[in-house]
């Protein structure tokens, strides 16, 4: 399914970004005809799309997908993740906070190492 969607996007010079099960498209040729074709492909593979998940953003706008910001084609953790880390660092001697801090740091490393 993803290969088929990618081919449609590429044929229109549209960049496709996949993060887990979220798909983002970037390009000037995104229109209703393109969206209809993508939805047809997804339905063909018996998947469903939640209408409220379909969003259009202006070209120079920061896009957020699953807590990750897409800025100029690069992935960046949303600011809230850094804020959470600062709060967790203040909780000394709390094992749960330490474990959450490790998890948040690993999450950010995964995103920034692939950016």
Confidence of residue 10 (pLDDT cuts 50, 70, 90): very high
Counting the structural domains of the chain, the total is: 2
Q: Are residues 78 and 108 in the same domain?
A: yes
Burial class (CB in 10 A: 0-12, 13-18, 19+), 86: exposed
My answer on whether 23 and 49 are in the same domain is yes
Give the domain range for residue 115: 58-115
| Same domain assignment for residues 87 and 46 | no
Same domain, 22 and 44: yes
Q: Both 69 and 101 in a single domain?
A: yes
* pTM for the predicted model, two decimal places: 0.57
Q: Are residues 71 and 33 in the same domain?
A: no
Contacts of 37 (CB under 8 A, 6+ apart): 8
Q: Are residues 6 and 42 in the same domain?
A: yes
Q: pLDDT tens, 75-85?
A: 888 778 888 88
């Amino acid at each position: 399914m993803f290969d088929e969607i990618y081919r449609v996007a590429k044929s229109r010079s549209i960049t496709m970004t996949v993060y887990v099960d979220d798909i983002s498209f970037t390009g000037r040729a995104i229109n209703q005809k393109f969206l209809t074709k993508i939805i047809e492909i997804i339905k063909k593979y018996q998947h469903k799309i939640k209408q409220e998940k379909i969003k259009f953003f202006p070209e120079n706008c920061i896009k957020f997908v699953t807590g990750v910001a897409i800025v100029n084609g690069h992935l960046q953790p949303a600011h809230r993740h850094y804020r959470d880390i600062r709060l967790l660092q203040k909780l000394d001697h709390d094992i749960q906070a330490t474990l959450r801090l490790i998890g948040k740091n690993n999450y950010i490393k995964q995103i920034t190492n692939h950016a």
